[in-house]
Amino acid sequence: MTQPRYYFNDDNHKVNLDFANLGFDYYPCPYRFEAVYELGVWRARGVVEETSMTLPEGSQCLHYGQQLFEGMKVNTGADGKVYAFRPAENSRRMNDGARYLQGPEVPEDLFIRGVEEVTRANLPYVPPYGSGASLYVRPFYLGIGDNVGVKPASKYVFRIFVTPVGPYFKGGFGPDQGKSFRVSTLDRAAPFGTGHIKAGGNYACSFKPGAEAKEQGFAEAIYLDPKEHRYIEEIGAANFLAFKGETLITPDSHSVLPSITRRSLLRIAREIYSWPVEERLIDKAELDEIEAAAACGTAAVITWIREVADGEKTWTFPFDQRWQQLYDSLVGIQTAAIDDPFGWRHEIS
Ligand SMILES: Cc1ncc(COP(=O)(O)O)c(C=O)c1O
């Protein structure tokens, strides 16, 4: 295992990257974490340097999509410490996926140890507090082996890379940063398929609807429920939120990825602001009655929706101050700018 050693010429202890102007792009940091599963046992290789991986050509992840990934952010706090946000939730979601794809679970302590080790190894790449950037952490899980039949693998790789990132949607959050989205006629997931797990195949299926939306000048595609095309599901790689009167509403569906950001925002809404919250079917026709709408996720944080286009019909929404309140509370907790009443910050260093 490589022992990362950095030597600095100043007190900044950060690499010379323009953190404030990063996009949501891959920048190869020096170290990643890796573990392998064989004969029923996970073995941590620990922190490694190779950015490339060598896999057997028959690997299930390459042919049959036996693959999962996660996404979370690590931030430097106002107190100078480095924090991950609810990493145990990402571990649980990855294991929901592992069970579904008939692979072994990654023990939660291995997952968390990986997040901690890879972050510590790449500490000079963790964006400083106030830069608006974060270290994006990408755990992933691959079924590998010398195989050709359609069956689950017997060997697996669990790896985590990190990369410093800025906002997912250009411009980030703000009253003048509303985005336009287009309702897709295509689906990313089947009604009782794999929409609820973070399997790579779901994302390959979103490339065409996403590309069609972007070709027409929209930020992303909005998906409707795959059975009736009547209810709102989600938006690209983000969940849907809206205010109807006093109530914060969000879709309840098997084919939506259960967003950790959404779950956190619902709790903030309920317990910090005492706003009513409903998880239920949201008929597209209800857009007529909704006051404000937003997309939420690790990458998107909260991105408020200025416009929804569906064929010839368009709905427009204003910026709502309640998005600002939710954003300030969520990002405040993540960056230790405010107290963490829910115990969501996971201190790494
Ligand atoms: C399809 C999809 N929906 C929603 C989300 C948001 O989930 P989270 O808040 O856990 O990042 C993501 C991103 O992980 C996603 O890929």
Length of the chain: 349
Q: Which helix (H) or strand (E) holds 60?
A: helix 60-63
User: 154 and 239 share a domain?
Assistant: no
User: 323 and 232 share a domain?
Assistant: yes
Task: Examine residue 1 and state whether it is found in any structural domain, yes or no.
Answer: no
Task: Quickly count: other Cβ atoms within 10 Å of residue 120's Cβ.
Answer: 15
- Final residue of a structural domain among 118, 140, 166: 166
Task: Examine residue 344 and state whether it is found in any structural domain, yes or no.
Answer: no
Looking at residue 200, which CATH number applies to its domain?
A: 3.20.10.10
- Final residue of a structural domain among 166, 189, 216: 166
Looking at residue 70, which CATH number applies to its domain?
A: 3.30.470.10
- What is the distance in A from the centroid of ligand 1 to the CA of 299? 8
Both tokens of residue 231? 């209810």
User: 329 and 183 share a domain?
Assistant: yes
E strand spans, 18-170: 32-38, 41-48, 67-69, 72-76, 82-85, 134-144, 155-165
- What is the distance in A from the centroid of ligand 1 to the CA of 198? 8
Q: Residue 260: CB within 6 Å of ligand 1?
A: yes
- Final residue of a structural domain among 166, 191, 209: 166
Asked if 132 contacts 18 with a C-beta cutoff of 8 angstroms, the reply is no
Q: Residue 259: CB within 6 Å of ligand 1?
A: yes
The domain of 151 spans 19-166
Asked if 9 contacts 124 with a C-beta cutoff of 8 angstroms, the reply is no
Q: Residue 104: CB within 6 Å of ligand 1?
A: no
User: 327 and 201 share a domain?
Assistant: yes
DSSP string of 171-226, one letter each residue: T-SSTT--EEEEE-SS-SS-TTSSTTS-BHHHHHHHHHHHHHHHHTT-SEEEEEPT
Tens digits of pLDDT across the chain (349 residues) = 556 789 999 998 999 999 999 999 999 999 999 999 999 999 999 999 999 999 999 999 999 999 999 999 999 999 999 999 999 999 999 999 999 999 999 999 999 999 999 999 999 999 999 999 999 999 999 999 999 999 999 999 999 999 999 988 888 899 999 999 999 999 999 999 999 999 999 999 999 999 999 999 999 999 999 999 999 999 999 999 999 999 999 999 999 999 999 999 999 999 999 999 999 999 999 999 999 999 999 999 999 999 999 999 999 999 999 999 999 999 999 999 999 999 999 999 8
Q: Residue 115: CB within 6 Å of ligand 1?
A: no
